[in-house]
Amino acid sequence: MLSLAMGLRQSLGIFLQPLTRDIGISVSEFTIAIAVQNLSWGLLQPFAGAWASRMGFRAAMLAGAVCYVCGLILLATANGLLGVILGAGVAIGFAMACTGSSISLAVAARSVDPGIRLVVLGLVSAAGSLGALLSAPIGQYLNQGYGWRVGMFAFVVIALAMIPAAWFAGRADRLPMPASPGGLEMTGRAVLKQALRNPSFLVLTLAYFVCGMQLVFLTTHLPSYLEICGMDPMLSAKALGMIGGFNVLGSLFFGWAGSKYNKLMLLGGIYIVRSMALAWYFTAAPTPDSTLVFAAIMGFLWLGVVPLIAGWLAETFGVRWQSMLAGFAFMSHQFGSFIGAFGGGVIFDLSGSYNAAWQGAVGIGLVAGLVQATFAWSRPKPPPAAGAMA
């Protein structure tokens, strides 16, 4: 479920140029839809996580899978900006809140022993990129040969597989709830208050903004950037596929590394190295080789943050409300995604280039990485007294 949800979403940038030309909207208008998607996803994620914690994962994931299919159908049949915003924006945004990493990793964390939790979270996060290996080449091939609508309807067919996957994953609802740290059970409100008093959680949440800004800027605008530079349109699909493939290795590595080393220090390192890779790639004209090397580097660092954050949250606050806390932190990620998608489109429309966009992504990324690394050793506050328990 996670693999298809992430892979299809990451591949929507393939259709940016043909879709905007066909239905007569601008690049920045298309990116409004992607920005709405990211805001909807982020704002709804804490509620979806709390819903899943209270009512069960299966109901939330099935609702998200069905809504994903409906969103792609709306996008495939769109004839103007409204259809694009409702399909790619609102519907897929809601669907991602119910099928994305926060819910999927909460299911995984509940299903395994703490001793192997980080490794399993790395495996699940790695699977989240495999969908791009399937959807990006298929979408680009059909887009070039038969038009963007045919490619989008192929995405609809692929997305149907999310429904049985969500049903199967919902069996986690029958598993017993692991004990919280210290053996104390808390209400969702008490856990959130505890998290908001934890400096490491606050810094993690704010730094997550940069993660969303950098990654969504690439998935939305890299295909357009390569086309402007005169590259073969198939190169963008190869690059997205390369990102997906190397993300498997990166997620597995960081899932393992997070069980050995300081998770928050590793997060800071990811943000810093990503920013350096962006600066290296965009300071020179792209070539097929440099693009694929860049995609491999970014892919290795792509979703490595997810098992680190999920593992730290489960270790610090327990798994009972993990999906809610992850959703709260993820709101910051999605505000960054909004800036990466919409801001990149506005900058391109105003200046005719992406220079200011990638330079901003590099500068903010370096600052966030350094701050995250600085707070990596902050000690959490002790849990509240028993009077806060419920």
56: left (phi over 0), alpha (psi -120 to 50) or beta: left
For the chain, domains (ranges, CATH) are: 2-172+186-378 (1.20.1250.20)
pLDDT along the chain (390 residues), means of 10: 87 82 82 82 83 84 95 91 90 91 83 79 78 77 85 92 92 73 60 83 89 84 83 80 82 85 90 94 90 92 84 80 80 83 82 87 92 74 43
CB 3 within 8 A of CB 127: yes
Secondary structure of residue 389 in the 3-state scheme? strand
pLDDT of the residue at 258: 85
- Report H helices in 56-177: 57-76, 81-84, 92-99, 101-111, 117-146, 148-159, 162-169
CB 92 within 8 A of CB 71: yes
Give which of 161, 87, 94 is closest to 131, Cα–Cα: 161
Q: Residue 186 phi/psi, 5° resolution?
A: -125, 155
pLDDT in tens, 14-68: 887 788 888 888 877 887 888 788 788 888 888 888 788 778 889 999 999 999 9
pLDDT in tens, 335-345: 887 888 778 88
Q: How many CB atoms lie within 10 A of CB 145?
A: 9
Q: Which residue has the tokens 């300081």?
A: 262
pLDDT in tens, 319-337: 777 778 887 888 888 788 7
pLDDT of the residue at 80: 87
pTM of the model: 0.72
Secondary structure of residue 186 in the 3-state scheme? strand
Angle between helix 199-228 and 27-55 (nearest 10): 140
Q: How far apart are CA 249 and CA 344, in angstroms?
A: 28
